Amino acid sequence: MIAVHSTRLGPGAGGTRMRPYPSLTAALQDACQLARSMTYKFAAADFPLGDAKAVIALPAAWDDRGRTELLQRFGTLVRQLRGLYVTGPDVGTSATDMDVIGTTGAPYVFGRTAEAGGSGSSAPPTALGVYYGIEALAAHLFGAPDLRGRRVLVQGAGGVGQDLIPRLQRAGAEVLVSEIDPTVVQRLQDAGVVLVPPDQVSATPCDIFAPCALGGVLNRESIAQLRCRGIAGAANNQLATTEDAERLRARGIVYVPDFVVNSGGAITVVGVEALGWSLAQAEAKVRAIGDTVRQVLQRAEADGGTTEAAARQLAEQRLAQAPGSVAHPVVVSAGR
């Protein structure tokens, strides 16, 4: 399924997520919610592309031997849209998968491997943007961006998390990690990383919590247990409901909206491959994520509202100034 939420800033762009879902309805809801988040993500970053997302819903008993054929069929769907939607990696897909999708979906596929003419994984620049966001959050909370001695809990050591962890360690932070993949857990243990069991994440004391796994982790139950000062992480749709932003504010926990802080990968991949940016230009744009975080936190503090509302206001102002077209969901299903 491909959900195009807005082309007001340009053609719809967003990653392809591939994973099992409990139902096709759940997959459709995820695609639409993710596409809506991309609208705010690119608008908040002042990036000249529209907003969309794709979901490939795998059956529970998926045989990965059919992966190539499935990805090529998806590439055909992308190409049929003639540029309405351009894609890249997301949860469950990689730069190598983009190579495969590109065999039938080019020129609308980005984030391919360097060998295939792409810019490679989007995870490192995503992690870099999150890191700049964490620095800005630390400055807001503690008066300086210095992370030395600060305890940061990273939830999820996948592509983004595994790049973010060493960045934080090099900055002198005390890093705690929670992960569910047994192979990754073993690798982290071998490296001497302090691990937190998944069911103890919310109740673990830390200065900054960085959710870098799947969404919905900030909900009524988990927020009541949180023992952190601030939140900034890469996971999409971290709030289970819109009311959870107010719950965080009421508890005095400063939340950096995910769509503000996790745009570094999309900005870099599309900027370099589609807009012809140099890596230096892309990194400068990713570094500006920290400036946007500071602007959002200052606006929320001045207004006395939630950071989620402040970030959306910033994005909506930029959308209102754009001359583009579609501002409502358009869903295209690839079928079975």
Catalytic position from the list 17, 36, 41, 53: 53
Residue 110's nearest CA partner among 265, 3, 234, 263 is: 265
Burial letters for 185-214: b for 16+ Cβ neighbours within 10 Å, e otherwise? beebeeeebeebeeeebbebebbbbbbbbb
Residue 163 tokens, joined: 């790049």
Q: Collect all residues with Cβ–Cβ distance below 8 Å to 84 and sequence separation of at least 6.
A: 4, 7, 11, 12
Question: How far is 186 from 197, CA to CA, in rounded Å?
Answer: 13
The two three-digit tokens of residue 135, written as one number? 């620095």
**330-332 and 254-255 beta bridge pairing:** unpaired
Tokens of 182: 């047994």
The CA distances from residue 9 to 262, 286, 315, in Å, are 19, 18, 11
Concerning whether 285 is annotated as a catalytic residue, the answer is no
Return the active site residues: 53
